[in-house]
């Protein structure tokens, strides 16, 4: 297994290892989560699960203050599932250096009952099947830090709060009969993004915006130093009247100013980006 540097205050008794080849404490990630959860971890005394490189065909129920860390470089820990979500529910924890794949939508599900914060750090989601949504955030807070999402569906906010930092969010597929979606769809809730890139690269292009607001206006929509690329139509589109803040953003097409009515809009467009 790879070497990992833990913080000085880390309690090694609260570190569990997983290795599908049998060299760890467990061969299953879920078994390790369940074992850690049975000790009632807290924010000042969390558990850390170190996962050896390999493929894990699992659907996970996360636990509060039980953090998952993939070992190796380039997200060599792959968690995959085809019959249900890879992450069935949210928890107040973090996932670091993992690769997630599957053919069940959404791959990560945060239901409306979720009220904590799930942090994804250096997580890769790669799935080019059309209509397979990467993440559905119905409740709580989802934070993406230096993540790369390249998938056929969307990152969907259904009322939860989404924070995106230094991440790449792409919608991409080449299925001609598929409905082209935005890379990021927001249905109410809150969205804040910093230094991130949102791209709709789907083929064929059929009105594919980078970001689209639907159903109900968000409580807050703020983008700082972001890049937006549409396949056609608006870079940022909205089917409903709403306000937004865009500061120092760049895009290859205009925004829908007929529905994005007010706020602070500072951006350049018609750029070859």
For residue range 232-256, list pLDDT tens digits in order: 889 999 999 999 999 999 999 989 9
Cis before 204? omega within 30? yes
In this predicted structure, what is the pLDDT of residue 12? 63
User: CA-CA-CA-CA torsion for 107, 109, 176, 202, nearest 10 degrees?
Assistant: -90
Q: Give every residue of the chain whose pLDDT is below 70, as ranges.
A: 1-12, 74-75, 176-179, 204-207
Q: In the structure, how many helices (H) and strands (E) does the chain have?
A: 1, 27
Helix, strand, coil % over all residues of the chain, rounded to 5: 5, 45, 50
DSSP annotation of 255 reads B
- Distance, in Å, from the CA atom of 163 to the CA atom of 252, rounded to the nearest integer, reads 23
Could you tell me which of 151, 148, 167 has the C-alpha nearest to residue 99? 148
From first CA to last CA, the distance across the chain in angstroms is 40
In this predicted structure, what is the pLDDT of residue 228? 96
- Distance, in Å, from the CA atom of 241 to the CA atom of 147, rounded to the nearest integer, reads 30
In this prediction the pTM is 0.92
In this predicted structure, what is the pLDDT of residue 3? 45
Q: How many CB atoms lie within 10 A of CB 103?
A: 13
- Distance, in Å, from the CA atom of 135 to the CA atom of 62, rounded to the nearest integer, reads 15
Dihedral sign for Cα 209, 211, 216, 217, please. Answer: negative
């Amino acid at each position: 297994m790879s070497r990992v540097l833990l913080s000085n205050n880390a309690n090694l008794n609260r570190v569990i290892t997983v290795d599908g080849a049998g060299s760890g404490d467990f061969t299953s990630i879920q078994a390790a989560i369940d074992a850690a959860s049975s000790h009632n971890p807290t924010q000042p005394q969390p558990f850390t699960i170190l996962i050896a490189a390999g493929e894990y065909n699992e659907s996970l129920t996360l636990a509060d203050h039980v953090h998952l860390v993939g070992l190796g470089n380039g997200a060599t820990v792959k968690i995959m599932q085809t019959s249900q979500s890879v992450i069935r529910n949210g928890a107040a924890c973090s996932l670091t250096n993992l690769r997630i794949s599957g053919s069940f939508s959404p791959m990560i599900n945060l239901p409306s009952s979720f009220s904590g914060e799930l942090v994804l750090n250096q997580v890769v989601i790669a799935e080019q099947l059309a209509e397979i949504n990467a993440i559905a955030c119905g409740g709580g807070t989802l934070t993406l830090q230096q993540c790369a999402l390249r998938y056929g569906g969307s990152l969907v906010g259904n009322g939860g709060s989404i924070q995106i930092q230094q991440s790449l969010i792409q919608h991409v597929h080449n299925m001609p009969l598929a409905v082209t979606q935005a890379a990021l769809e927001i249905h109410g809730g809150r969205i804040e993004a910093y230094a991130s890139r949102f791209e709709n690269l789907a083929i064929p292009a059929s009105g594919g915006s980078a970001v689209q607001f639907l159903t109900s206006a968000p409580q807050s929509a703020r983008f700082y130093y972001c890049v937006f690329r549409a396949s056609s139509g608006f870079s940022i589109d909205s089917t409903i009247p709403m306000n937004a803040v865009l500061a120092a953003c760049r895009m290859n097409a205009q925004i829908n100013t007929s529905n994005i009515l007010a706020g602070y809009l500072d951006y350049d467009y018609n750029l070859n980006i």
